[in-house]
């Protein structure tokens, strides 16, 4: 028996890729271990979104490289994911102990690579393909993370080229996966007991635009998935604001399994900054879209992403971001301080870079605002009855807790002795904290 350890960094796309890589590895006689010391094959699945993520990847393999040099000569080390796709052969220069570099475009060549590294070769497989076949033709079972939610990528890549973002360089052009494959993967996940399907893509709402042989969009996919039998939930992330159509909102509202949750990154509350970011909307347009979603879908949760200290961002422009979070009543937001990325347009605007201390200060102010709004948003649900899908069961300070999510993506903690993981329960909300709600069981 051989053991593989995979350290997965970055977004759900990477997590989904890891599940697929593990599936292939299990087929080749490997077993997953959570202990790197025990592994014969060590893989890091990297993220390149910010400099810090990239540094983390090199520091992980650095440790393994030391082991290999000092006392574990036979281990093999793989460097995969977004940093791999972007840097390719360069990885070997910086980390010569790495045995293979595998980019996001070629994860399905992993079995072939294993054979080659076991023959003592060093392999770099990062050719950009941008072919739809490469993201659909798979004969291996997916080794999903245990739990209630199954991720299913519906598209790969992005064509938007926001001026700060590395993703179009690490994931290539937008390619939609065929509905037949997605439905098949969903059926398989549901029959193995998963209770929630999350459809993944950089811009899920532009799904299907690239199909030449059919007219089939996200709303069609949602309808087909909603028709599968059994009780389960459907989510989709991430939505690009201007690609959300009335038809999509209406479909999401009408389908009982599709949850009341939209992740619609705004990035900045200021129209000039948005223009410099190459986002295809201004503050007013974003406002119209959010208002439409809110007015059509009762109790909808809308979350967003923002960047603090984009090149050239003034204090006044930053304040527009703070006011946007209030004005649009965003329920939760991810925030990041701007990090210049190689190849991207904004990285060249060095004369406009915002000093680190100001970026960090803005980052803190954003976080404070988000905390306030999150609590405000949670308080709306006090005394309400909500359906919760239980995700985990644990003990905290001597109390047994079931933790799960509402349809609108609120975390609820429910004190209860029985492990209800995977069950849908009705709960009365008794308390609202910043990051979660507390509830008590109404009935099973």
The 318-337 contact track toward ligand SAH, x by CB under 6 A, reads: ------------------x-
Contact range with ligand SF4 by CB under 6 A, out of 142-150, 155-163, 181-189, 352-360? 155-163
For residue 207, what are the CA distances in angstroms to 227, 338, 355? 19, 28, 38
Contact range with ligand F3S by CB under 6 A, out of 167-175, 178-186, 272-280, 302-310? 167-175
Distance of CA 76 to the CA centre of its chain: 28
- Residue 81 structure tokens: 């994911």
Distance of CA 267 to the CA centre of its chain: 16
Residue 161's binding partner out of ligand SF4, ligand SAH, ligand F3S, none, with CB under 5 to 8 Å set by partner kind: ligand SF4
DSSP state of 243: G
Please report whether residue 162 would count as binding ligand SF4 according to CB under 6 A: yes
C-beta of 82 vs 437, nearer to ligand F3S = 82
Backbone φ, ψ for residue 338 (5° rounding): -55, 135
In angstroms, what is the minimal distance from the CB of 125 to ligand F3S?
17
Q: At what angle do helices 315-327 and 283-296 cross, to 10 degrees?
A: 10
Contacts of 199 (CB under 8 A, 6+ apart): 152, 153, 154, 182, 218, 221, 234, 235, 236, 237
Please report whether residue 274 would count as binding ligand SF4 according to CB under 6 A: no
C-beta of 206 vs 408, nearer to ligand SF4 = 206
In angstroms, what is the minimal distance from the CB of 119 to ligand SF4?
37
Q: How far apart are CA 225 and CA 396, in angstroms?
A: 37
Alpha helix segments (H runs only) across 328-435:
356-379
Q: How far apart are CA 378 and CA 334, in angstroms?
A: 17
Please report whether residue 82 would count as binding ligand SF4 according to CB under 6 A: no
C-beta of 105 vs 171, nearer to ligand F3S = 171
In angstroms, what is the minimal distance from the CB of 174 to ligand SF4?
9
Please report whether residue 81 would count as binding ligand SF4 according to CB under 6 A: no
In angstroms, what is the minimal distance from the CB of 157 to ligand SF4?
8
Residue 44's binding partner out of ligand SF4, ligand F3S, ligand SAH, none, with CB under 5 to 8 Å set by partner kind: none
The 216-255 contact track toward ligand SF4, x by CB under 6 A, reads: ------------------------x---------------
Please report whether residue 338 would count as binding ligand SAH according to CB under 6 A: yes
Q: How far apart are CA 17 and CA 239, in angstroms?
A: 20
Burial of 15 (C-beta count, 10 Å sphere; 0-12/13-18/19+): middle
- Residue 196 structure tokens: 């929630």
Please report whether residue 48 would count as binding ligand F3S according to CB under 6 A: yes
Exactly one of 33, 130, 160, 411 binds ligand SF4 (CB under 6 A); that residue is 160
Please report whether residue 267 would count as binding ligand SAH according to CB under 6 A: yes
Q: Please, are residues 76 and 39 in contact by the beta-carbon 8 Å criterion?
A: no
Q: How far apart are CA 51 and CA 14, in angstroms?
A: 17
User: Half-sphere exposure (CA, 13 Å, Cβ side) for 215?
Assistant: 0
By CB under 6 A, the count of residues binding ligand SF4 is: 10
Number of residues written out for the chain:
444
Interface residue list for ligand SAH (CB under 6 A): 49-50, 164-165, 167, 202-203, 238, 240, 265, 267, 305, 307, 336, 338-339, 341
Interface residue list for ligand SF4 (CB under 6 A): 158, 160-162, 165, 167-168, 202-203, 240
Interface residue list for ligand F3S (CB under 6 A): 10-11, 13-14, 47-49, 82, 166-167, 170-171
């Amino acid at each position: 028996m051989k053991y593989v350890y995979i350290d997965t960094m970055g977004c759900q796309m990477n997590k989904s890729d890891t599940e697929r890589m593990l599936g292939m590895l299990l087929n080749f006689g490997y077993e997953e271990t959570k202990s790197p010391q025990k592994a014969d094959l060590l893989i890091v699945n990297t993220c390149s979104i910010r400099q810090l993520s990239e540094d983390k990847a090199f520091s992980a393999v650095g440790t393994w490289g030391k082991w290999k040099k000092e006392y574990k000569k036979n281990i093999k080390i793989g460097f995969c994911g977004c940093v791999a796709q972007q840097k390719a052969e360069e990885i070997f220069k910086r980390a010569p102990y790495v045995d293979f570099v595998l980019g996001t475009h070629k994860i399905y060549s992993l079995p072939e690579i294993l054979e080659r590294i076991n023959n003592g070769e060093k392999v770099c497989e990062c050719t950009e393909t941008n072919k739809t076949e490469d993201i659909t033709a798979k004969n291996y079972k997916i080794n999903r993370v245990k739990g209630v939610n199954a991720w299913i990528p519906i598209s790969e890549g992005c064509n938007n080229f926001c001026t700060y973002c590395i993703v179009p360089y690490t994931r290539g052009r937008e390619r939609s996966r065929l509905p037949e494959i997605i439905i098949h993967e969903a059926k398989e996940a549901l029959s193995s007991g998963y209770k929630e399907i999350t459809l993944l893509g950089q811009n899920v709402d532009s799904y299907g635009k690239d199909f030449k042989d059919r007219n089939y969009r996200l709303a069609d996919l949602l309808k087909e998935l909603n028709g599968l039998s059994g009780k389960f939930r459907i989510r989709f992330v991430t939505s690009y604001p201007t690609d959300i159509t009335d038809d999509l909102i209406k479909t999401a509202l009408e389908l009982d399994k599709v949850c009341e949750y939209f992740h619609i990154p705004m990035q900045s509350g200021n129209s000039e900054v948005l223009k410099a970011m190459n986002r295809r909307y201004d503050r007013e347009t974003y406002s119209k879209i959010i208002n439409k979603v809110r007015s059509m879908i009762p109790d909808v949760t809308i979350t967003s992403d923002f960047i603090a200290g984009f090149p050239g961002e003034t204090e006044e422009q930053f304040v527009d971001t703070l006011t946007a979070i209030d004005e649009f009543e965003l329920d939760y937001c991810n925030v990041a301080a701007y990090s210049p990325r190689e190849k991207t347009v904004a990285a060249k605007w060095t004369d406009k870079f915002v000093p680190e201390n100001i970026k960090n200060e803005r980052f803190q102010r954003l976080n404070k605002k988000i905390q306030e709004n999150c609590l405000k948003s949670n308080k709306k649900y006090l005394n309400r009855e909500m359906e919760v899908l239980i995700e985990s069961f644990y003990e905290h300070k001597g109390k047994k807790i079931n933790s799960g999510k509402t349809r609108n993506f609120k975390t609820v903690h429910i004190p209860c002795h029985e492990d209800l993981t995977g069950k849908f329960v009705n709960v009365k909300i008794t308390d609202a904290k910043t990051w979660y709600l507390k509830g008590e069981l109404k009935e099973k």
